Every structure is written in structure tokens, then in C-alpha cells.
Chain A
Amino acid sequence: MSSDHQSSENVSARPAVQIDGVTKSFGNTPALEPCWMKIKRGEFLTLLGPSGCGKTTLLNLIAGFLEADNGELFLGEDLVTQVPPHKREIGIVFQNYALFPHKTVAQNVEYGLRTRGVPKEESRARVKEALSLVKLENFADRKPRQMSGGQQQRVALARALVIRPRVLLLDEPFSALDRNLRVSMQIELKEIQTKLGLTTIFVTHDQNEALSMSDRIAVMSRGRVRHVGSPQEIYEHPKDLFVATFVGDTNLFRARIESSEGRTRLDIGGRKVEISSEQKEPRDLPSAVIVAARPEQCSLTSVESPDAIPATVAVVVYQGSYVELYLECEAAVHGRIMMRDVSKSFFHIGDKVGIRLATKGLNIFGSEQEIG
């Protein structure tokens, strides 16, 4: 998202994909605000956001199915802003796989080689290789409809990989699979991607998928890229409240910042909470703020503790390795707090408890920001 994009003479330093101020609107509705992004060779980048955030628009722009209103798009060394999709050498796996129903698995995979005029023998060998990569050597003569969702997914992947694309685009490829299959497909895809060193752009609205698979994540909302960073950066140091709430579980507290004698304290519901100095400069923030704390940054303590935020147990959900507690808390933005109690101590609905926040790693935002 840096705007310090290089001049176009500096060709050798081009990343696999470079998006320079690309915009797109449909009629009067902007679908993508000016967007700058660089994707390194072999990188797995995820576009994460709720539906309508512009992630699919961006994917379609990269694939060439949509034409950018402004800006430039580079694939490697080539400027492709005006290049039609069939000349971009991009592999795509669609959400519904989009396998040709009238062709066999082998013919589906072969399609991209035939359009390129690859000789028969080489083509046969490459199809075989691609199918063995996705462990479907023995299914070459099946029709797509005779295969399970997971198998169709692999065929779609093989079809996209066999052309040795410059970039692999994945449009929510796992959303139609059941949970167990999804996890094993994710691992398999990640393995293949790493093995081939393939630059991959992955579109999803599922934050768990994004966190577990990506080298970097670009969180998007309302046509804007909010934050680009590693999963850890996104989770631990979200740039704004939207990112903090969209990625991972977050508890939000209304608070006031008080600075005295060089120390900064938060006033949450009348209780004073010390925060460490590594936090953002408090003077950059208004005095009314929102504190975002992950469930693991909250711990339970006695309601009498002076630094604990008072709350009442509302719901107890047994989850096996831990107990999920939903607490009613006046200082919380939504009136509710979620915590994981690993010790599985017995709490009952109606118990008065205190919440103690971790002193490090809390994220503090201005209170006017959008919540995801």
C-alpha cells in the first residue's frame, strides 16, 4: 500500500505483480479506490475482506476480466493494463471450479496447453505430471460430474497449474468444501504452492484461512486496502479498528487516556489500567479511545481487584480444551466480552468476575473508526 512506487525505468526490480493506483467503479459506485500493491515472486498474498469489499473486483482486474478505470498493472516486466485475459498467462481457480462439464478431467487439464499449441507428446506428459501433482493420475478419463467436490477442486488446480502461470489466482476456492476437507485442501495447496514457488493471490472472507495460509494479508473494506502485512502483524498490530475486529476475535472497551508524570493510564469503566510505553503515542489519539484486546489478552480475576474491569458471566460454552465465557460488561463497546478460560474453572451464569487486561500488546484506536 506504499505510494512510493518506483519509476517505470527501474525494470529489473519489478515484483511478480505490481498494482499502481488502479481504480474501478461500476456506474457511480466506486468498487476499488486507488490501490497500490506489490506482490513478490513466490509470495502467497491473501485479499481478505467481507463481501463487497472490492477483493473480487481486484482479482478480476488482475485476471483481465475487468478493465481498470485508472492506474497501471504489471505482471513481471510487462505492462498488462490493456492486455485481454487470454494473453495474461494467469491461472485461476474459481469458487465453483468452473470445470468444463463436457470434457474429461484430462481434456480439462489439457485445454490450456491446446490453446498454446503445445505438441501432443509434451502436452500428454505435462497433463500427467499436473494430475499426479494433485494425486489424480487415475481419474484422467472421468467427467467432472462423476467426481467429489474436493476432487473437482484438484482438477481445477491442475488445470490452472499445467500452463505454468505467472500468477495463480484463487477465488474463494474452499468455500464449497466441508470443514475437514477444507483444512486438508488448504495444507495441500500450500505445499504445492511452496514446492513450485508460485506467486499466488488468494481471495477469501475467511480470516482463519487467511491467517493460516498467507505470507502476507491485505485486509480490504469498502473498496480500500486497509492494511497489508504478515498474518502476525495483522493480528497483533492491526492498523485500524476495522482490521482489529475483522481479523480474529476482539474485545472492545471504551476508555479514556490519562497521562500524568510521564506515565500513561487507561480509564476503563472507572478502573485504571496501566499500559506499557511501547504503545502508540497517546498524544496522537483523542482522549476518548477504544481499546482492542484479544481474548488471550484478558484474564479473569476477583471483581474486587482495583485494576480489574467488572463483568458478569452470561454464557458458558464448553469447548473441550477450554471453556468459552461470554461476559456482560458495561465498559465493553457491545456490552459483551468473550474469553477463553483454559483452566476450566467452574463459573456459573450470574457470577461476578473481574477482567484484567494484559499490559503489553493492547491496541488503541480513536473511537470514531469503523468497526468490522
Chain B
Amino acid sequence: MWWSVDLFVVKTMSKRPFLGLFASPATLVAISIVAALLAIFQYSLRAYVPGSLRPGGFTIENFAVLWKPMFRKAFLTTFLLCFWTALLTLLAGFPLAYAMVRSKSSLVRGGILITSLTPMFLGEVIRTYSWMIVLGKQGIINVCLLRLGVISEPISLMFTTTGVVIALVHFTLPIVIIMIAAALSHIDWNLEKAAASLGAGRVRIFFTVTLPLATPGLVAATSTAFSWTFSAFATPQMIGGGKVQTISTLVYQVGFSSFNMPLAASLSLAGLLFTIAVLTLFNVGMRKIEKLGDC
């Protein structure tokens, strides 16, 4: 299990002489994050004073406002975006990662690595802008489908959830491929050879050996994909164009268009708790499934 590996790392590190020195930058980062979270926390419990950037007195009104249909809808949209993106990224990333780790040809391995990694070096805005060109009414997808006669009228991908998911999958793919590849590369080839010698064909080997052993990596990759998508801002903002409201875009709108900082803070906090809750449930569920597979 990957969480026991983490514990192992912590245990062995406590015996290292330079631990304090190496840990100090991490401590600085941790302190800043905790401080920022505390600031958001205290903002979320202050009243909004219209026309002023300074918050008023103590209130829990902000969290009550979050129950309004607009915000509930944003939570649902965000969840669905994250869900579909994580699922599709996993489905697209696994075969690519598998080919990257197992291919005998260095050309295939290198090709996958380069094509999957280069998008990481472009910013989210640039990548999203490219996707706007691809997804638009005059974009490559529509032009191709029209010319081929598959569709008679351009399909709308811009300003739709589908369009946002497509761009988000591309945004999330590199990190997922890397994480799955890391998990796969730790699986001993001899295990698959042993399974073959015991009479298992390729499909059986995949489902009884490779997949179970890759599961911790897949869970980690899916969790990461989920939280990356959750935190994505430029993609839903530019491709959704206000028609697809996620928690990030709403936080921006509430905080920087309406200047309602307390509400933006409470929304951010609610979003954070939401992600933690979803990922905890996911992990607990996966652990249960793994236990089931044991017997």
C-alpha cells in the first residue's frame, strides 16, 4: 500500500542527520499555507460590507448563502467535471503509460514521453487558448466533421461542459501518465512471467497481476487528476465562458467582480472541504474494493 510506504520513508528519515536542514524549506512553505488558510478561514466568518473591501463583524451568514441554487449547481458541475476528467484521463493515460513503460522500442517510449510532457511546459492559458481554436465553430473538429459529412451543422463544443472536459483531460493527462508509469515500472516483470508459466494468458495476467498491483498508483493518479481539475481555473473560465460555472470561476467572480471577499473565502473553504471529503470517500472505497479482491 502506498500509504505504508510513506510511513516507512518518515521512519527511516528520522535517523538522518540533515533532516532538520532539509526540512526547513518545507516548514516555511507549510507555515505560509497554514497562514493563508487561517486568513481565508477568518475572512469566511466576517460580514460583507457592500462598497467596502474591509470585512465587517463575525457572522456565519456566508455559509448559509452557499446553499443557494446557483452555488449548489456550481458544486454539482465541478464534481461532474472532476469526475469525467479523472475517469477519461485514467482511461486515456493507462494505455499510454503502459506502452511507455513496456515498449521495447525506445522511439515509442520517447515519443510518448515527449508528447505527453511538452504540454506541461506551456501554461494553462496558452493550452486553453489552443483548445478554443480547436473546439470553436470554425475549429478543426467542426471543419473536419462537416467536410466528412458526419454532421450537417457545427456542433457546439465551446461554452459547454463537454468542451471543458476535453480541454481538462489534456491539461491533466501528463501528471496522470507520469504517476501511472511510475506505478507500473515498479511491478516486477518476473511476476508476469511467473503467472504465464502457471498457465495464465495475457488478459488473465493483466487482471490478476498487473492491474491489482498498479491499483495504488491508479488511486493516487485519479485523486491527483480530481484535485487538479478542481483547482483548474483558466480552462473552465475561457472555454466555459461563463456558461459553465465551477467553484474556481465562481470564487473569482464573487471575489473580484462583486468584491465580496468574505463570501469568496467561504466558497473557497467549502470547495476545499468538498475535495477532501470526495477524495477521502474515494480512498476508503478503493481500500474496501482492494480488501475484497484479497479473498
**Residues in A lying within 8 Å of B, measured CB to CB:** 63-65, 84-92, 94, 96, 98-104, 111-112, 115-116, 159-160, 163
Q: With a CB–CB cut-off of 8 A, which chain B residues contact A104?
A: 294
A337 to B65, CA, bound (A): 93
Asked whether, in the complex, the Cβ of A86 is within 8 Å of the Cβ of B188, the reply is no
Asked whether, in the complex, the Cβ of A98 is within 8 Å of the Cβ of B209, the reply is no
Select A89's contact among B188, B199, B212, beta carbons within 8 Å: B199
Q: Does B201 contact A (CB under 8 A)?
A: yes
- Given contact pairs A94-B193, A102-B212, A163 touches B294 in the complex (Cβ within 8 A): no
What does DSSP make chain B's interface, helix, strand, loop or mixed? helix
Select A86's contact among B191, B197, B212, beta carbons within 8 Å: B197
Asked whether, in the complex, the Cβ of B209 is within 8 Å of the Cβ of A100, the reply is yes
Q: Does B213 contact A (CB under 8 A)?
A: yes
Asked whether, in the complex, the Cβ of B194 is within 8 Å of the Cβ of A163, the reply is no
What does DSSP make chain A's interface, helix, strand, loop or mixed? loop
Interchain nearest-CB distance for A116 vs B (Å): 6
The 8 closest A-B pairs by CB, nearest first: A112-B198, A115-B199, A98-B190, A98-B194, A85-B196, A92-B197, A86-B196, A115-B200
Asked whether, in the complex, the Cβ of B194 is within 8 Å of the Cβ of A92, the reply is yes
Q: With a CB–CB cut-off of 8 A, which chain B residues contact A90?
A: 197
Asked whether, in the complex, the Cβ of A101 is within 8 Å of the Cβ of B213, the reply is yes
Q: With a CB–CB cut-off of 8 A, which chain B residues contact A96?
A: 188, 190
Interchain nearest-CB distance for A145 vs B (Å): 10
- Given contact pairs A102-B212, A102-B213, A91 touches B191 in the complex (Cβ within 8 A): no
Q: With a CB–CB cut-off of 8 A, which chain A residues contact B188?
A: 96, 98
Asked whether, in the complex, the Cβ of A111 is within 8 Å of the Cβ of B195, the reply is yes
Asked whether, in the complex, the Cβ of B190 is within 8 Å of the Cβ of A91, the reply is no
Interchain nearest-CB distance for A97 vs B (Å): 8
> Chain B residue with minimal CB distance to A117?
B199
| 18 pairs from A and B in contact (CB 8 Å cutoff) | A63-B193, A63-B197, A64-B196, A85-B196, A87-B199, A88-B197, A92-B193, A94-B193, A96-B188, A100-B191, A100-B195, A100-B209, A102-B213, A111-B195, A115-B199, A115-B200, A159-B198, A163-B198
Asked whether, in the complex, the Cβ of A65 is within 8 Å of the Cβ of B213, the reply is no
Q: With a CB–CB cut-off of 8 A, which chain B residues contact A111?
A: 195, 198, 200, 208
Interchain nearest-CB distance for B192 vs A (Å): 9
**Residues in B lying within 8 Å of A, measured CB to CB:** 188, 190-191, 193-201, 204, 208-209, 212-213, 293-294
Q: With a CB–CB cut-off of 8 A, which chain B residues contact A102?
A: 212-213, 293-294
Q: With a CB–CB cut-off of 8 A, which chain B residues contact A87?
A: 199
Asked whether, in the complex, the Cβ of B193 is within 8 Å of the Cβ of A163, the reply is no
Interchain nearest-CB distance for B215 vs A (Å): 9
Asked whether, in the complex, the Cβ of A86 is within 8 Å of the Cβ of B200, the reply is yes
Asked whether, in the complex, the Cβ of A163 is within 8 Å of the Cβ of B213, the reply is no
A249 to B77, CA, bound (A): 77
A90 to B195, CA, bound (A): 11
> Chain A residue with minimal CB distance to B197?
A92
Q: With a CB–CB cut-off of 8 A, which chain B residues contact A94?
A: 190, 193-194
> Chain A residue with minimal CB distance to B190?
A98
Asked whether, in the complex, the Cβ of B198 is within 8 Å of the Cβ of A115, the reply is yes
> Chain B residue with minimal CB distance to A156?
B194
Interchain nearest-CB distance for A14 vs B (Å): 22
Asked whether, in the complex, the Cβ of A163 is within 8 Å of the Cβ of B199, the reply is yes
Select A85's contact among B191, B197, B294, beta carbons within 8 Å: B197
Q: With a CB–CB cut-off of 8 A, which chain A residues contact B194?
A: 92, 94, 98-100, 159
Q: With a CB–CB cut-off of 8 A, which chain B residues contact A98?
A: 188, 190-191, 193-194
A280 to B25, CA, bound (A): 76
A102 to B208, CA, bound (A): 10
> Chain A residue with minimal CB distance to B195?
A111
A111 to B191, CA, bound (A): 12
A98 to B197, CA, bound (A): 12
Q: With a CB–CB cut-off of 8 A, which chain B residues contact A100?
A: 191, 194-195, 209
> Chain A residue with minimal CB distance to B188?
A98
Interchain nearest-CB distance for B108 vs A (Å): 17
Asked whether, in the complex, the Cβ of B193 is within 8 Å of the Cβ of A115, the reply is no
Interchain nearest-CB distance for A137 vs B (Å): 20
Q: With a CB–CB cut-off of 8 A, which chain A residues contact B196?
A: 64-65, 84-86
A91 to B199, CA, bound (A): 10
Asked whether, in the complex, the Cβ of B294 is within 8 Å of the Cβ of A86, the reply is no
Interchain nearest-CB distance for A129 vs B (Å): 17
Given A89-B199, A94-B194, A96-B190, output 19 extra A-B contacts at Cβ < 8 Å. Answer: A63-B193, A65-B196, A85-B193, A85-B197, A86-B195, A86-B200, A92-B193, A92-B194, A94-B193, A98-B188, A98-B193, A100-B194, A100-B195, A102-B293, A111-B195, A111-B198, A115-B199, A159-B194, A163-B198
Interchain nearest-CB distance for A166 vs B (Å): 12
Q: Which of B191, B197, B293 has the most CB of A within 10 A?
A: B197
A112 to B213, CA, bound (A): 18
Asked whether, in the complex, the Cβ of B199 is within 8 Å of the Cβ of A112, the reply is yes
A75 to B46, CA, bound (A): 81
A89 to B197, CA, bound (A): 7
A94 to B293, CA, bound (A): 25
Interchain nearest-CB distance for B232 vs A (Å): 34
Q: With a CB–CB cut-off of 8 A, which chain A residues contact B212?
A: 102
- Given contact pairs A101-B213, A102-B212, A65 touches B193 in the complex (Cβ within 8 A): yes
Interchain nearest-CB distance for A164 vs B (Å): 12
> Chain B residue with minimal CB distance to A92?
B197
A160 to B193, CA, bound (A): 12
A85 to B190, CA, bound (A): 13
Q: With a CB–CB cut-off of 8 A, which chain B residues contact A63?
A: 193, 197
Q: With a CB–CB cut-off of 8 A, which chain A residues contact B200?
A: 86, 111, 115
Q: With a CB–CB cut-off of 8 A, which chain A residues contact B209?
A: 100
Interchain nearest-CB distance for A86 vs B (Å): 5
A64 to B294, CA, bound (A): 29
> Chain A residue with minimal CB distance to B290?
A102
Q: With a CB–CB cut-off of 8 A, which chain B residues contact A116?
A: 199
> Chain B residue with minimal CB distance to A89?
B199
A84 to B293, CA, bound (A): 28
